[in-house]
Amino acid sequence: MSAAKRPSASTPAPRSRRLAAACLTGALALGASAAAAVPAAAAPGHSPASSAAHRHPATAHAIPFTAATVTQQADGSFTLSWSAPGVRHVTVYAGRDQQHIQRRHAVAGGSGTTTVTVSGLGAADRWWFELVPDRGEPLTLADRSLHLASAPNFRDAGGYRTADGQWVRMGVLYRSGDLGKLSDADLAELRRLGVRTDIDFRTASERSASPDRVPAGARYVVADVLGDSLTSSLPATEAAGSQMMQDIERVMVSGDSAQQAYRALFDAAADHGADAVVYHCTAGKDRTGWASAALLTALGVPRETVMQDYLASNTYRAAENAAALAQLPEAMRPAYKALLDVRPEYLNAGFDEVSSTYGSFGDYLRQGLGLGQNELRDLRKQLLVG
């Protein structure tokens, strides 16, 4: 794809897309104000992470795990599943600090493909598990969700395997929805976990309505994805709502403000001297969803995995979405639900925009976000292990 097809700095997004983008954040003003928002929508809206050990270059020995997950259960126990072809035994150790997991006492073990339950670990901001195979390099993971009561879609952006067998680090990048409602306890936890940079993708009206709460001393970066706001009516049908969300997704690829915002995220993610970074919008699913999709794709994570991460917002936001829909007349729910959901066709519209405008994802990174080989190399060095 030639650079000539890149949208110019003076060319605005099509009006239909801008109207769609403007409608989005009004729809995401959830909770008690959901029903009131329906008639018209306002415009949208020294820590472990910074240690030298956490930022070391990838080792020469491959991590043998092809799949691995940690899931915290309601009773406080953890379910660990992994698959490591060719490995005969895996020993599991646990710790409250991923950089200082002691191998004195194993908490579990199993064969190369196993699911185990670990319980009785006690309280911690976050439990980390080191999976040590009998051959190859170990892998350290945690439950992706931080289980913050005031921010249910706050989760780790890492813990995924790339197509070439590396893994995206955990504890470095977090994705979230609105941080304006963080409780004091949750805010203190983020400070202890080393969150020192906050990238806010929201519009000016969203930021004014719900200012971020961030740990003291954290760097706050305004990276408005949608830019100038407009006012628009909400869609009347589910099909119209779905189309609106697809139009928004395309704006997040080709819009000038979006490209500047996502470049700011990539720069922060590649900064070897940075502490942990959180990036977010209002619901943590659309602007934040494309941010994660772009980052993971740039790191070599397969599209299927990228889609799974994107769709996980439906699970994390299930209670909030249900509460919002319950306040609406039944006839209005399908259209509104289309705005609250994330759906495969939404993310696919973004990737389609990449293909039609730039020809390839690599050209999107180079031409759209202005990332050169050095920047991409730094990004991968900082965020990949194995």
- Would the CA dihedral through 160, 162, 166, 172 be positive or negative? negative
**CA–CA separation, 68 and 73 (whole Å):** 16
User: How far is the CA of 246 from the CAs of 17, 225, 351, in angstroms?
Assistant: 9, 15, 11
Q: Which of 193, 281, 340, 385 is catalytic?
A: 281
DSSP category for residue 367: I
Contact criterion met (CB below 8 Å) for 238 and 46: no
Residues in contact with 105: Cβ distance below 8 Å, sequence separation at least 6, in sequence order: 93
**CA–CA separation, 84 and 63 (whole Å):** 9
281 given a catalytic annotation:
yes
Q: Nearest Cα to 341, choosing from 360, 363, 364, 315?
A: 315
- Name the E strands within the chain: 67-72, 78-83, 90-95, 108-110, 113-118, 128-133, 139-142, 155-156, 167-168, 173-176, 195-200, 219-222, 276-280, 384-385
**CA–CA separation, 220 and 304 (whole Å):** 32
Q: What amino acid is encoded at 182 in this protein?
A: L
Angle at 55 between CA 276 and CA 224, to 5 degrees: 35
Catalytic residues: 281
